[in-house]
Amino acid sequence: MAGVANTWGYGAMTNSLNDIRHAKSMIFIGSNATEAHPVSMQHILHAKEVNNAPLIVVDPRFTKLAAKGTDFVRIRPGSDAAFIMGLINAVITNGWEEKEFIRTRVSGYEEMVEVAAHYTPEIVEDITGIPASEVTRIAELLATNRPTSLTWCMGGTQHSIGSSITRAFCILQLVLGNMGKSGGGTNIFRGHDNVQGATDMCVLADNLPAYYGLSDGAWKHWCRVWDVDYDWIVGRFPEKEWMNKKGFSLARWYEGVLNEEELETPTPIKAMIQWGCGSNSNSQYNRVVQALNKLELLVIVDPFPTIAAAVTKTDNVYILPGASQYETSGSVTSTSRQIQWRHRVVDPVYDSKDDYQVMELLVNKLGFADKFYKNIKQIPEDITLELGSGSLTIGYNGQTPDRIKSHMANWHTFDIDDLQAKGGPCDGDYYGMPWPCWTTDHPGTPILYDISKSVAEGGLPFRNRFGEERTYESSGRTENQLAAEGICNPGSEVQGGYVEFKEVVPGTNWKTDLSQKTIKDAIARGMAPFGNARARCVVWNFPDKVPIHREPLHSPRPDLIAKYPTYEDKPNHFRVKTRYKSEQNPDLVKEYPYVITTGRMVEHMGGGAETRSNQYLAELQPEMYVEINPRLANNLGIRKGDMVIIESPEGAKIKVKAKLTPRVDEKTIFLPYHFAGTLMGESYEKDYPEGHAPFVLGDPGNVVTNYGYDIITQIQATKDGLCKVTRA
Ligand X SMILES: Nc1nc2c(c(=O)[nH]1)N[C@H]1C(S)=C(S)[C@@H](COP(=O)(O)OP(=O)(O)OC[C@H]3O[C@@H](n4cnc5c(=O)[nH]c(N)nc54)[C@H](O)[C@@H]3O)O[C@H]1N2
Only segment of 46-54, 75-83, 88-96, 642-650 that touches ligand X (CB under 6 A)? 75-83
Could you say which residues in the range 599-658 bind ligand X, by CB under 6 A?
599-600, 602, 604-607, 609-610
Nearer to ligand X, 302 or 450 (CB): 302
Which residues on adjacent β-strands are paired with residue 149? 26
**Nearest by Cα to 437 from 493, 386, 389, 405:** 389
By CB under 6 A, residue 59 contacts ligand X: yes
Q: Taking CB within 5 to 8 Å according to partner kind, which of ligand X, Mo ion, none is near residue 78?
A: ligand X
CB of 385 to Mo ion, least distance (A): 28
Q: Taking CB within 5 to 8 Å according to partner kind, which of ligand X, Mo ion, none is near residue 86?
A: none
Coil/strand/helix, residue 266: coil
> In angstroms, how far apart are the furthest CA atoms of the chain?
75
CB of 460 to ligand X, least distance (A): 26
Length of the chain as a residue count: 728
Report yes or no: 592 and 600 within 8 Å, Cβ to Cβ.
Answer: no
Q: How far apart are CA 338 and CA 315, in angstroms?
A: 43
> What are the distances in angstroms from CA 669 to CA 40, 274, 304?
27, 31, 30
Nearer to ligand X, 222 or 253 (CB): 253
Q: What is the 3-state secondary structure (H, E, C) of 356-370?
A: HHHHHHHHHHHCCHH
Q: What is the 3-state secondary structure (H, E, C) of 436-454?
A: CCCCCCCCCCCCCCCCCCC
Q: What is the 3-state secondary structure (H, E, C) of 623-639?
A: CCEEEECHHHHHHHCCC
By CB under 6 A, residue 13 contacts ligand X: no
Which one of residues 306, 393, 397, 678 is an interface residue with ligand X (CB under 6 A)?
A: 306
Which one of residues 17, 47, 75, 711 is an interface residue with ligand X (CB under 6 A)?
A: 75
Report yes or no: 663 and 63 within 8 Å, Cβ to Cβ.
Answer: yes
Which one of residues 463, 579, 653, 719 is an interface residue with ligand X (CB under 6 A)?
A: 719
Could you say which residues in the range 235-294 bind ligand X, by CB under 6 A?
275-278, 281, 283
Nearer to ligand X, 30 or 121 (CB): 30
By CB under 6 A, residue 705 contacts ligand X: yes
By CB under 6 A, residue 497 contacts ligand X: no
CB of 248 to ligand X, least distance (A): 16
Q: Taking CB within 5 to 8 Å according to partner kind, which of ligand X, Mo ion, none is near residue 74?
A: none
Coil/strand/helix, residue 275: strand
Coil/strand/helix, residue 186: strand
Question: What is the CA 606 to chain-centroid distance, rounded?
Answer: 14
> What are the distances in angstroms from CA 419 to CA 25, 305, 399, 455, 613?
21, 40, 16, 17, 36
Nearer to ligand X, 534 or 653 (CB): 653
CB of 702 to ligand X, least distance (A): 5
Report yes or no: 509 and 144 within 8 Å, Cβ to Cβ.
Answer: no
Q: How far apart are CA 439 and CA 443, in angstroms?
A: 9
Nearer to Mo ion, 284 or 718 (CB): 718
By CB under 6 A, residue 665 contacts ligand X: no
Q: How far apart are CA 438 and CA 398, in angstroms?
A: 5
Helix (H) or strand (E) run with residue 576 in it: strand 576-578
Sequence-ordered list of residues with C-beta below 8 angstroms from that of 359, at least 6 positions apart, any chain: none
Q: Taking CB within 5 to 8 Å according to partner kind, which of ligand X, Mo ion, none is near residue 36?
A: ligand X
Q: Taking CB within 5 to 8 Å according to partner kind, which of Mo ion, ligand X, none is near residue 398?
A: none
By CB under 6 A, residue 204 contacts ligand X: no
Site string for ligand X, 158-197 (x = CB under 6 A): x--------------------------------xx-----
Report yes or no: 709 and 163 within 8 Å, Cβ to Cβ.
Answer: no
Q: Taking CB within 5 to 8 Å according to partner kind, which of Mo ion, ligand X, none is near residue 148?
A: none
CB of 250 to Mo ion, least distance (A): 11
CB of 311 to Mo ion, least distance (A): 22
With left for phi above 0 and alpha for psi between -120 and 50, is residue 464 left, alpha or beta? beta
By CB under 6 A, residue 547 contacts ligand X: no
Which one of residues 12, 17, 23, 36 is an interface residue with ligand X (CB under 6 A)?
A: 36
Question: What is the CA 577 to chain-centroid distance, rounded?
Answer: 23
Report yes or no: 44 and 20 within 8 Å, Cβ to Cβ.
Answer: yes
Q: Taking CB within 5 to 8 Å according to partner kind, which of ligand X, Mo ion, none is near residue 673?
A: ligand X
Question: Beta strands 668-672 and 594-599: pairing type?
Answer: parallel
Nearer to Mo ion, 8 or 510 (CB): 8
Which one of residues 154, 203, 225, 617 is an interface residue with ligand X (CB under 6 A)?
A: 154
Which one of residues 69, 121, 147, 155 is an interface residue with ligand X (CB under 6 A)?
A: 155
Q: Taking CB within 5 to 8 Å according to partner kind, which of ligand X, Mo ion, none is near residue 598?
A: ligand X
Only segment of 35-43, 378-386, 479-487, 649-657 that touches ligand X (CB under 6 A)? 35-43
Q: How many residues bind ligand X (CB under 6 A)?
A: 63
Half-sphere exposure of 36 (CA within 13 A, CB side): 24
By CB under 6 A, residue 10 contacts ligand X: no
Q: Which residues bind Mo ion (CB under 5 A)?
A: 8, 191
Site string for ligand X, 349-388 (x = CB under 6 A): ------x---------------------------------
Q: Taking CB within 5 to 8 Å according to partner kind, which of ligand X, Mo ion, none is near residue 2?
A: ligand X
Q: What is the 3-state secondary structure (H, E, C) of 23-65?
A: CCEEEEECCCHHHHCHHHHHHHHHHHHHCCCCEEEEECCCCHH
Nearer to ligand X, 6 or 18 (CB): 6
Coil/strand/helix, residue 302: strand
Nearer to ligand X, 26 or 36 (CB): 36
Question: Beta strands 576-578 and 330-333: pairing type?
Answer: unpaired
Nearer to ligand X, 324 or 420 (CB): 324
How far does the chain reach from its first CA to its final CA, in angstroms?
Answer: 39
Q: How far apart are CA 8 and CA 499, in angstroms?
A: 32
User: By the criterion CB under 6 A, which residues form the site for ligand X?
Assistant: 1-3, 6, 8-9, 29-33, 35-37, 58-61, 63, 75, 77-78, 80, 153-156, 158, 191-192, 275-278, 281, 283, 301-304, 306, 322, 324-325, 355, 597-600, 602, 604-607, 609-610, 673, 701-702, 705, 718-720
